[in-house]
Amino acid sequence: MAYGAPPLFRQGVSARARFLFFLMLSLAAILVDGRLRSLDGLRSTVVSFTSPIVEAIHLPGRILGEGQGYFMSKRRLNEEVQRLSEENQLLQLSAARYEEVQQENESLRRLINTVPRAADKVATAEVIGRIADPFSRRIQINIGSREGVEVGMPVIGPFGVLGQISRVVNRLSEVTLLTDHTIRLSVINRRTGAFFILSGTGDDALSVLFALPSADIRPGDELITSGLDNLFPKAILAARVTATSYQPGEPYQRVEAAAVADVEDIQFATVVLANPNPAAGLEEVAAPSRFERRSRR
């Protein structure tokens, strides 16, 4: 009858011995593989078997990282789009301001070229409003008696004659336009040298007075100031003839003209600070008026 230790207390190879055994086995495998490369097939098999497991373990982390990168990229893109939109708005504002300054410079350049050099005493003003009066054609400028402006002084626009000062306060003045029915202006036909009287009609048109039936005047003729009124400098463009007609038996031709000054788009005007002669071309109108502010572009 054999006696031995109970199974519960039976001891096998110690853990230290097993560790040393497997360590030596690993070292031997490393040496053999390093010299003979005999374990490449086994390594490939093990790698092929464990690769899906490794991929499955890494998959949640990769998905989480890609999702985090996506949202971070989207946030950066949104921030970049917002920044570019703000820059674009600033550039658009700068471009609009640049274009506005260019237009103002061009208007001032035309104005300087229009005013004759003989008129050395001038004052440049900005047109700030149009007067709401159905019976007159007037605008408002931002200079007045402080700058030496007086009633009766001539006003020139970028393209030619604009009108005449009709009312003055401290820092504001009213300009009666050439098309107003109170205006009379002595002009010369640039093509023929003939003298005529240009008259406003009360709307946006002009009429050439005292054109004899034999007068050589035709559509397209340019009418310039004659200087005979001792008010407007000589040779400033005032109007262009638009139509002519004649009825037999009438003493004069019917001649229509259009002012060269575009009141709707004008920004600047020049007042010639000469000795005013209100009676030369303007009949004073004392009716009260209201100012209608012109909308800025």
At residue 278, the pLDDT reads: 53
Domain boundaries, the chain: 14-114, 122-293
Per DSSP, the chain holds a count of helices (H) and strands (E) of 3, 13
Q: Is the dihedral of CA 181, 185, 189, 190 positive or negative?
A: negative
At residue 243, the pLDDT reads: 95
At residue 291, the pLDDT reads: 37
Q: At a CB cut-off of 8 Å and minimum separation 6, what does 283 contact?
A: 182
Report residue 104 as tokens.
């103002």
At residue 12, the pLDDT reads: 62
The CATH H-level (homologous superfamily) assignment of domain 122-293 is: Rod shape-determining protein MreC, domain 1 (2.40.10.340)
Question: The whole model's pTM is what?
Answer: 0.58
Alpha-helix residue ranges (DSSP H) falling in the chain = 15-36, 40-114, 278-281
Which uninterrupted H or E stretch holds 182? none
At residue 213, the pLDDT reads: 93
**Mean pLDDT, 10 residues at a time, over the chain (297 residues)?**
52 75 78 65 71 76 75 80 76 69 65 57 88 87 92 89 92 93 92 94 90 94 90 89 93 94 81 68 39 38
At residue 223, the pLDDT reads: 96
At residue 86, the pLDDT reads: 73
At residue 208, the pLDDT reads: 95
CA distance 150 to 233: 17
